[in-house]
């Protein structure tokens, strides 16, 4: 067996944010399946995984589309963009782990900077959600990242490692130790999200290496760390050359199936 160039494989996760209802998701996934079936490798290589994180109303249709297309099964997951830490209760507008499980979802994103900046989520609430969902058996993508002001104040390391440390303490207080096999970290510099400003591979690698060191110190060495922030089919290969970048969390460039396919193909080439 040849050794994987990327020891933790590559994950390409599309965060659709507030885009793509059930019909659009079905069309997207059918196009993706057809495009894959018409290439010589109908399924990506072992070690390559993909996910689409859809609006809540789209989850069931996206799952059904994956079931209809065998070429997508086993490597493309459908996930939610957030979920509350409580299993049920008076939390208007929220989704919980058990509600997601009921429709067959086992992956969720937590702590996205848009949730933190626009919807008042904090290190504490993001940590609660992460810890509770991991404990419920979910795979969770947990986002961390600094603002432009924090970067300019040379507080990137302090901010990012502080976010991780806070969440880790929440898990300890809740007696819900993290399971490294289901945890995924996404480093998303806030200044790079939706701005067209991507971190250079050097900037990304610097922070990813810090995160990897922190994870190893906690016995969580197998946890993948994705980069997010204006990832495109053009810049993804360069980012994947960084030894500690294990994939991408992609917003805008994940919305068209042709662009998402290019990201997947780039991920496959990196393995
Ligand atoms: P963009 O790729 O549109 O910059 O979004 C990144 C992001 O926020 C993914 O979660």
H/E element, 49? strand 48-54
Mean pLDDT of the chain: 95
The Cα–Cα gap between 112 and 103 comes to 23
CATH (domain of 57): 3.20.20.70
* Cβ contacts of 91 within 8 Å, gap of 6 or more: 84
CA 113 vs CA 42, 83, 123, 126, 228: distances in Å: 35, 15, 11, 10, 11
The Cα–Cα gap between 91 and 67 comes to 31
Which pLDDT score, from 0 to 100, does residue 195 have? Answer: 86
Q: Please count the other Cβ atoms lying within 10 Å of the Cβ belonging to residue 31.
A: 15
Which pLDDT score, from 0 to 100, does residue 73 have? Answer: 94
Establish whether residue 194 lines the binding site of ligand 1, counting it when its CB lies within 6 angstroms of any ligand atom. yes
Which residue owns the Cα nearest ligand 1 atom 5?
A: 251
Contact in structure between 222 and 7 (CB atoms under 8 Å):
no
Contact in structure between 189 and 151 (CB atoms under 8 Å):
yes
112 is catalytic: yes
Establish whether residue 82 lines the binding site of ligand 1, counting it when its CB lies within 6 angstroms of any ligand atom. no
Query: What separation in Å is there between the alpha carbon of 83 and the centre of ligand 1?
Result: 19
209 found inside a domain? yes
Which tokens sit at 104?
């067959």
Query: What separation in Å is there between the alpha carbon of 230 and the centre of ligand 1?
Result: 6
Given the residues 20, 84, 85, 112, the one annotated as active site: 112
Query: What separation in Å is there between the alpha carbon of 229 and the centre of ligand 1?
Result: 5
| Distance, CA of 88 to chain centre | 24
> What are the phi and psi torsion angles at 265 (to 5°)?
-65, -40
The closest alpha carbon to 180, from 230, 266, 246, 116, belongs to: 246
35 found inside a domain? no
Q: Please count the other Cβ atoms lying within 10 Å of the Cβ belonging to residue 11.
A: 24
H/E element, 237? helix 236-240
Q: For the segment 165-178, what is each residue's pLDDT rounded down to a tens digit? A: 999 999 999 999 99
Residue 243: DSSP 8-state: T
H/E element, 117? helix 113-118
Which residue owns the Cα nearest ligand 1 atom 7?
A: 251
> What are the phi and psi torsion angles at 270 (to 5°)?
-80, -15
The tens place of each residue's pLDDT in the chain, 271 residues long, gives 555 589 999 999 999 999 999 999 999 999 999 999 888 667 788 899 999 999 999 999 999 999 999 999 999 999 999 999 999 999 999 999 999 999 999 999 999 999 999 999 999 999 999 999 999 999 999 999 999 999 999 999 999 999 999 999 999 999 999 998 999 999 999 999 888 888 899 999 999 999 999 999 999 999 999 999 999 999 999 999 999 999 999 999 999 999 999 999 999 999 9
Q: For residue 196, which atom of ligand 1 is closest to its CA?
A: 4
The Cα–Cα gap between 189 and 80 comes to 21
114 is catalytic: no
> What are the phi and psi torsion angles at 184 (to 5°)?
-135, 130
186 found inside a domain? yes
Query: What separation in Å is there between the alpha carbon of 89 and the centre of ligand 1?
Result: 31
178 found inside a domain? yes
Q: For the segment 105-163, what is each residue's pLDDT rounded down to a tens digit? A: 999 999 999 999 999 999 999 999 999 999 999 999 999 999 999 999 999 999 999 99
163 found inside a domain? yes
204 found inside a domain? yes
The closest alpha carbon to 63, from 75, 48, 79, belongs to: 79
Total domain count, the chain: 1
34 found inside a domain? no
Given the residues 168, 188, 208, 265, the one annotated as active site: 188
Query: What separation in Å is there between the alpha carbon of 90 and the centre of ligand 1?
Result: 30
Which tokens sit at 75?
């490597």
Establish whether residue 251 lines the binding site of ligand 1, counting it when its CB lies within 6 angstroms of any ligand atom. yes
Residue numbers of the domain that contains 201: 10-19+49-86+93-250+264-270
101 found inside a domain? yes
Q: Which of 15, 51, 232 for mutating ligand 1's site (highest number of atoms within 8 Å of CB)?
A: 15
């Amino acid at each position: 067996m040849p050794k994987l160039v990327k020891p933790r494989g590559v994950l390409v996760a599309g965060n659709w944010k507030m885009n793509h209802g059930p019909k659009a998701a079905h069309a997207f996934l059918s196009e993706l399946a057809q495009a894959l079936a018409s290439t010589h490798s109908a399924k990506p290589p072992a070690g390559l995984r993909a996910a689409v994180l859809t609006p809540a109303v789209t989850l069931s249709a996206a799952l059904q589309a994956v079931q209809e297309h065998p070429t997508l099964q086993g490597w493309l997951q459908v996930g939610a963009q957030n979920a509350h830490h409580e299993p049920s209760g008076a939390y208007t507008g929220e989704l919980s782990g058990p509600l997601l499980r009921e429709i067959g979802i086992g992956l969720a994103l937590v702590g996205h900077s848009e949730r933190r900046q626009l919807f008042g989520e904090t290190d504490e609430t993001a940590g609660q959600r992460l810890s509770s969902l991991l404990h419920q058996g979910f795979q969770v993508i947990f986002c961390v990242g600094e603002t432009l002001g924090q970067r300019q104040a040379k507080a990137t390391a302090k901010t990012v490692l502080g976010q991780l440390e806070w969440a880790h303490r929440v898990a300890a207080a809740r007696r819900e130790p993290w399971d490294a096999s289901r945890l995924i970290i996404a480093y998303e510099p806030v200044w790079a999200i939706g701005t067209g400003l991507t971190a250079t591979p050097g900037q990304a690698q610097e922070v990813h290496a810090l995160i990897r060191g922190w994870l190893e110190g906690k016995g969580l060495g197998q946890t993948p760390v994705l980069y997010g922030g204006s990832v495109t089919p053009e810049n993804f290969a360069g980012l994947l050359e960084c030894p500690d970048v294990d994939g991408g969390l992609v917003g805008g460039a994940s919305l068209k199936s042709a662009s998402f396919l290019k990201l997947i193909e780039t991920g496959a080439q990196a393995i």
